[in-house]
Amino acid sequence: MLSSFGMSRLKKRLGIHFHFSSVYGMNLLSTFLSLTENTMLLLTASFLTGILLFQQLEVLPNIMWGFLLPLTLFSSLFLKQYKFISLCACGFLWALIRADITLSANLDFALEGQDVVVEGFIASMPKTGERSLRFDFDVSRISFDNKVYPSPGRIRLSWYDKAPDLIPGEKRTFTVRLKRPHGHLNPGGFDYEAWLFQEGIRAIGYVRSEHIQQELALPKTISPYALARFRQGVMTHLQTVLAGLEHTGIIMALAVGERQSLDHHDWAVLRATGTNHLLAISGLHIGLVAGLGLLFFSWLWARSATLCLKLPARQAGLIGGFLLALLYSALAGFAIPTQRALIMLTVFAWGSLLKRSIPPAHLLATALIVVLVWDPFAVMSVGFWLSFVAVSLLIYGMSGRLAVRSWWWRWGWAQCLLAVGLMPFLLFMFFQVSLIAPLANIIAVPWMSFLIVPLVLFSTLVSFLFNDLGIFLFTITDRLIAVLWYTLEFMAALPVAQWTQHAPPFWAVLCGVLGAVWLIAPKGIALRWVGIIWLLPLLVVVPDRLPKGQFEMTLLDVGQGLSATIMTRNHALVYDAGISLGNAYDMGRQVVVPFLRHQGLSAVDVVIASHGDNDHIGGLNSVIEAVDIKRLLSSVPDKIDNFKAEHCAQQSWTWDGVYFEILHPENENTNWQGNNASCVLRVSSGEDSILLTGDIEQAAELSIVARLRNNLSTDILVAAHHGSKTSSTIAFVDAVQAKIVLFPVGYRNRWNFPAAQIVDRFTVRGAQTYDTAREGAISLILGHSENEIFSPKSFRDTSRYYWHWVEEN
């Protein structure tokens, strides 16, 4: 969204004085609502299309194009023959202006990695993790070496030492160490840089806690941070009241929209049953609160004849219900699904007060256009698409059916059409879809809507007034949640609970959308069964498999750690699984498993855990939990307690004409310890080969050279120990004679890997060098090459967008 910093930049860059007139706004809204349904939907779709086209750009255009916005807006209003193309241009240019505002606040390159002093305001509710406290900070002044630099606006900070209580709106001065937004980029993975861009965060870093400068008083006037302070107060109160309850995370999610207390098992159950939407405060919850408010305030208002003479009880109830929904939306932090629901409710209430009937499609189109004008980058959010598409499907699929069927039939049909209609989007975004979602939602939605949500909100209110009574009510609520949760866990454990597959090609997704729309079409549309045919490419089209004798190696971007995959025509291997930063975050769950799902792999033939260091084995448990593993090899099998692992020494095998061989350790009884015990894997086919060396250091390298000097040359080398000075000895480098060297390293890591002298050691011998911090995931295809030219494919290059990190020139 546009923060106070962003708004001031918008005024400055465009030279515009913003004056919002409520009368003009209502007149414009009235004009918009008076359009025909088809025209309104087409206009909204045109604006959305312009934003989506802008989002495909790799490089940000010159901001001077933004000055065409008034012209395109005039054209859309007064030149009817060009209104659709003009609104498309409006969407494109509006996104350009907003993107330029956000990206203009980048951190100066000179400040990266330095101890800088920042002054500003705590901008969010602090979130406590296993290792740190995280919070957003609005920078009003930043300085280094007695020089003031342009403010990057909002930054995200972590505090790793014991942090004091932080309150949103509190003004503080810290000494921090910052870097530009940078995240891991992998096929199928989460784009952290896109998320930071959408949130308007232009630097990330941590507090140098031993250098705290001062603490200033909390502002006494109402500030932009008042809502965050209010939510923090409610959340702190609930944490005390809910202590000891089993389902605290679910209650917190429903009360204040904070889901950080939910663990990975909780999310797995919700995904498997297609019920994770129940914990997103959206139309279901907002509409329920508004309806309860309507009933309560109408009844209360009707008790007074005097009040009813001034305002009818129903209109008073509408206002009261709307205000309750507004309060609940504020508690939820105005997330995108909440915004959509609140805007639709606002237009509906406004129309009801004016005694106007507003069609559902008008409500949806109005909500969409308002959300996009307020935040054009909402389209980058999964919640945006699932929220608006779900409501669109209900409006479209339920039309023409309501008057002829029972309530239970309509309810069941609504769940079925959502399951079918959302399937293309879920497979495109997550590579899996719940098969039991209709049944699970038929049970869970009424239980959650009519029992749990009202009790959560009522208990929250009562707990502020009567603490003991509030605890008693929450205990009842917790037991009701437990009944539902046991049901969902049972359903999630069913073998047919989920369908998981590869990432479908985009053309197949479009076919799937067309098929779903056709299949759930309202009564009267002919040949609806044809929609099944259009859905088939989404499910049956599989990626081309490698020819026999070829293999693809992907060095994943897991930050300061190592994980790689090797795939042949019919088999797959995972080498290491990256680092773990606690129970809540590890690279196995965040990178390796999503990549395997993206490739359509639910099983892996062999996993190799090279040695016992956290940055190599930390994510292994998540891979074991999520993927069917046939064999697990390691130099430290005793360290793996949830899978029967074998020692990696003296192992070799052939898959689809590709030969795999463990070169080190030479046997199980050697005395190699720590890094030097790493399993060294060579994969070869024909004249092509690749060598993965784990973290071996000088002693192990010299031992390998002594044994295999004449049989060590390789085309691709994953450098030992991330390019540390303790590895890549001259003897080893000369024996390997690699053409391409890959360094698995984290961006601006504390050890400055890869060491410059190690990179030079390879480059002077003619090798090309690449690292994951700059390239993201790196993949190569080898085997039976007709020439010796290899072309590493950088995911950061092939999937670059204008918001991604760019190296300093």
Token pair, residue 109, equals 């390159």
pLDDT band at 460 (very low <50, low <70, confident <90, very high): very high
Q: What is the pLDDT of residue 344?
A: 82
Q: What gap in Å lies between CA 424 and CA 419, rounded to an integer?
A: 10
% of the chain beyond a pLDDT of 70: 91
Positive or negative: CA dihedral 798, 803, 808, 809: positive
Tell if the pTM clears 0.85, that is, is over it: yes
Nearest to 719 by CA among 677, 651, 769: 769
What does the pLDDT look like over 586-639, one tens digit per residue? Answer: 999 999 999 999 999 989 999 999 999 999 999 999 999 999 999 999 999 999
Q: What gap in Å lies between CA 478 and CA 780, rounded to an integer?
A: 52
Q: What is the pLDDT of residue 76?
A: 84
Is the pLDDT reported for residue 735 higher than 50?
yes
Q: What gap in Å lies between CA 14 and CA 101, rounded to an integer?
A: 10
The residue type of 478 is D
Q: How many CA atoms lie within 13 A of 386 on its CB side?
A: 22
Q: What gap in Å lies between CA 489 and CA 440, rounded to an integer?
A: 10
Is the pLDDT reported for residue 55 higher than 60?
yes
Q: Identify the residue with better confidence: 718 or 687.
A: 718
Quote the Cα angle for 518-420-283, to 5°.
105
% of the chain beyond a pLDDT of 90: 61
Q: What gap in Å lies between CA 724 and CA 694, rounded to an integer?
A: 12
Token pair, residue 776, equals 């993201």
Q: How far is CA 783 from CA 253, 328, 568, in A?
A: 51, 59, 10
Q: What gap in Å lies between CA 336 and CA 342, rounded to an integer?
A: 10
Average pLDDT over residues 261-278: 90
Please list the residues that pair with 646 across neighbouring strands.
633
H or E element that contains 742 = strand 740-743
Torsion, Cα of 582, 584, 589, 591 (10° steps): -80
What does the pLDDT look like over 91-112, one tens digit per residue? Answer: 999 999 999 999 998 899 999 9
Coil, strand, or helix at residue 572? strand
Is the pLDDT reported for residue 218 higher than 60?
no
Q: What gap in Å lies between CA 435 and CA 501, rounded to an integer?
A: 13
Coil, strand, or helix at residue 281? coil
| DSSP class per residue in 89-114 | HHHHHHHHHHHHHHHTTPPPGGGBTS
Average pLDDT over residues 38-61: 91
Backbone conformation region of residue 597, classed left if phi is above 0, alpha if psi is from -120 to 50, else beta? alpha
pLDDT band at 7 (very low <50, low <70, confident <90, very high): very low
Nearest to 700 by CA among 667, 676, 720: 676
Q: What gap in Å lies between CA 550 and CA 657, rounded to an integer?
A: 8
Token pair, residue 393, equals 């499907």
Token pair, residue 618, equals 């930390």
Nearest to 735 by CA among 756, 720, 754, 721: 720
Q: What gap in Å lies between CA 670 and CA 773, rounded to an integer?
A: 35
Quote the Cα angle for 200-205-208, to 5°.
140
**Average pLDDT along the chain:** 88
Give residue for tokens 């190690």. Answer: 758
Q: What is the pLDDT of residue 103?
A: 93
Q: What gap in Å lies between CA 612 and CA 618, rounded to an integer?
A: 9
Q: Identify the residue with better confidence: 721 or 260.
A: 721
Q: How far is CA 7 from CA 13, 15, 49, 148, in A?
A: 10, 12, 24, 22
Average pLDDT over residues 746-755: 93
Q: What gap in Å lies between CA 799 and CA 526, rounded to an integer?
A: 41
Q: Alpha helices, DSSP H only, in 450-529?
A: 453-465, 467-492, 506-519
| DSSP class per residue in 296-327 | HHHHHHTT-HHHHHHS-HHHHHHHHHHHHHHH
- Determine how many CB atoms are found less than 10 A away from the CB of residue 84: 17
Q: Alpha helices, DSSP H only, in 259-302?
A: 264-273, 283-301
What does the pLDDT look like over 13-37, one tens digit per residue? Answer: 444 433 433 444 445 455 555 556 6
Is the pLDDT reported for residue 8 higher than 70?
no
Please list the residues that pair with 662 across neighbouring strands.
681
The residue type of 749 is N
pLDDT band at 12 (very low <50, low <70, confident <90, very high): very low
Please list the residues that pair with 144 across neighbouring strands.
147
What does the pLDDT look like over 393-408, one tens digit per residue? Answer: 888 887 765 454 566 6
Q: What gap in Å lies between CA 659 and CA 663, rounded to an integer?
A: 12
Q: What is the pLDDT of residue 516?
A: 92
Q: Identify the residue with better confidence: 489 or 83.
A: 489
Quote the Cα angle for 488-492-493, to 5°.
120
Average pLDDT over residues 258-272: 89
Q: What is the pLDDT of residue 15?
A: 43
Cis bond upstream, residue 312 (ω within 30): no
Q: What is the largest CA-CA distance in the chain?
A: 101
Q: What is the pLDDT of residue 677?
A: 95
Give residue for tokens 């601006």. Answer: 748
Average pLDDT over residues 529-554: 91
pLDDT band at 584 (very low <50, low <70, confident <90, very high): confident
Nearest to 770 by CA among 733, 741, 739: 741
C-alpha 261: how far from its chain's center?
17
Beta strands in 475-520 (DSSP E): 498-500
* CB-CB contact of 693 with 726 (8 Å): no
Coil, strand, or helix at residue 685? strand
pLDDT band at 226 (very low <50, low <70, confident <90, very high): confident
C-alpha 273: how far from its chain's center?
20
